[in-house]
Amino acid sequence: MLDVLPEDLVREILSRVPVTCLVRLRSTCKQWNNLIKDPEFIITNQSRNSAAGEKQSMIVLLKQVGVYEFLTSKLVKLKDRLYDSDKFYIYDIYYCDGLLLCTIVNKIRNDDEQFVSRLVVWNPILGQTKWIDLTNRYRVYDIFTLGHDGNKNYKILRIFYGDSSYKRGLEIYDCKVNSWKSLDEDVTRDDWGILARGASLNGDSYWIGYDESDKDVPMLISFDFSVEKLQRQFLPNHQSEGILMALSVHREEELLLLNQGYDTLKTEIWVTTNNKMDKKKTKVFSWSKYLTVDLYSHNISLFHYTSFFIMEEKKKTLVCCCTRRYLSYYKAYVIGEEENGVRKVHLGKFDFRVRPLMFNYLPSLVQIH
């Protein structure tokens, strides 16, 4: 029936279909397959899926040595002839536009210092992978992130310290030309540091960090893949006591900031409301307080590898995932605004090799060539 409709109308209808359904529709006919792979169509579909928010998203959990869809406990397998789950495991994941950058580690090696065996960019919905050549020994504690420039050219950033010194280095892999390059000294200067896991928004990457001139004042460190520059800006006024901070993304549209006081356990969520360019052409965010919960009575103390996201279908609800070295299991906390609105969910046995990670995954048709 759709083959008698005008092409523009078919495009309009299909652009509103969830990605998981579109993947199955690719085999319907050659015309639909070409349309679904069209870059402009993918951007339109991605925008509309983002607007649909939680209705199209999945909660993904990196647990033990696998990636799971949280609500169904279904294992999402990395199927590729270059990946043997008996020999390797996924150590960490970095999310951008429905793509997962995975650091792969060898199970068998017993070195005092673990090294990344492989890097792969993976779209689990399409089942597509792109393996990245490594130029050197990459440590698991190196910082990786995935982003893109204004032309949707996807790139990988690696932040690391040299083998024989504490001098920082940055290098970028361009997925289009399949090569690494080092960034200049102006970008790699040692007057800043990163404290916690990052997040990706609109192709740029963000971390909680600090400036060497005042380590007590947390900063928002960002990397703009279009100009390949690091930028810094202040975070919203934080609690005067010592705090923990973490970043997340909401509906692919806004940054979320979690901060928790070490003593009071008062926990706040802040959200970006807009951004503008300052005189140095740095993107500067405005923030507003989104949610405040008191976790003191529940004795819920989070830590620096905390991951979190927000659900909004009925009421504002915060979901956090974390563990501690002295515990033998993962926990998730589902925290509502109302008093005593806290539910603990045990996620299974803790594996010291893998940092707990839970995030809202929005399926995408984006392909990496």
**If you average pLDDT over residues 314-343, what whole number do you get?**
70
Write down the pLDDT at residue 54: 47
Q: What is the mean pLDDT of the chain?
A: 78
CB-CB contact of 328 with 85 (8 Å): no
> Which range, of 10-19, 24-33, 107-116, 133-142, averages the lowest pLDDT?
107-116
Write down the pLDDT at residue 199: 92
Hey, what CATH topology would domain 38-361 get? Neuraminidase (2.120.10)
CB-CB contact of 137 with 115 (8 Å): yes
Handedness of CA 74, 79, 85, 86 (dihedral sign): positive
CB-CB contact of 319 with 35 (8 Å): no
Total-model pTM: 0.84
Q: Which residues of 298-328 are buried (b: 16+ CB within 10 A; e: fewer)?
A: eebbbeebbbbbbbeeeeebbbbbbbeeeee
CB-CB contact of 365 with 37 (8 Å): yes
Tokens of 1: 């029936």
Write down the pLDDT at residue 353: 66
> Which range, of 83-87, 91-95, 125-129, 216-220, averages the lowest pLDDT?
83-87
pLDDT at 196 over 70: yes
Nearest to 148 by CA among 280, 290, 42, 6: 42
